Structure 1
Amino acid sequence: MKIERVIEEFNQLDEYLNREYILNISPEEILATLDDLVLSKDDFPHEIYNCYDLNENQIQKLRPFLTEEIYPDFDKYTYQLSCYEDRY
């Protein structure tokens, strides 16, 4: 089972998913990169399965791990770190 981590971009008006940006990053790298990320009680540092809201600084830190460029617009969208089992 492969886990895929993404940054999801949601429209603030209707909360619908606008776009996903694929990350090439392990849970350990996430914690090292996002040193301010507070995990939920049911997540473990070697897993990180829950969704987490991201701020602009956190997105900047994750940029090197993206498969394509992201140009965040926090006036229009909200962003989340999400996780899926291999969907493709």
Structure 2
Amino acid sequence: MQLIRVIEEFRKEDECLVKEYIVNISAEKILETLDDLVLYDDDYHDEIYDSYFLSEDQLKRISPFLTEEINADFNTYIYQLSCYEDNK
């Protein structure tokens, strides 16, 4: 079992998931890159499992770790860092 981290792009008008962008980054590197990310009490510093909404600045800082380019539009979409277990 492997953890997969993604940036989820949700449409603001109906909160529908439009696209997921895979992020190749460890939990430690996320915390280093997003030094202003405040973890929820039930999350861990060595593994980030919960979902976190990202600001425009945070998304820019984490974008170099995406497997494909993202053309962010914060007027239309909301962006969230999420984690899933890949059971493949």
Tell me the TM-score normalised to structure 1 length.
0.97
Structure 2 unpaired stretches of 5+ = none
Q: Which runs of 4+ in 1 moved over 6 A?
A: none
Residue matched to 1:21: 21
Secondary structure, aligned partner of 1:69: coil
| Residue 36 of structure 1 pairs with residue 39 of structure 2 | no
With structure 2 as the length reference, what TM-score do the two structures score? 0.97
Give the CA deviation at 1:40. 0.2
How far off its partner does 1:63 sit? 1.2
Give structure 1 stretches of 5+ with no counterpart. Answer: none
Q: Which amino acid counterpart does residue 12 of structure 1 have in structure 2? A: K
RMSD: 0.9
State the distance in 1 between where 2:85 and 2:79 align. Answer: 19
Distance 2:50 2:5 in 1: 10
Equivalences, count: 88
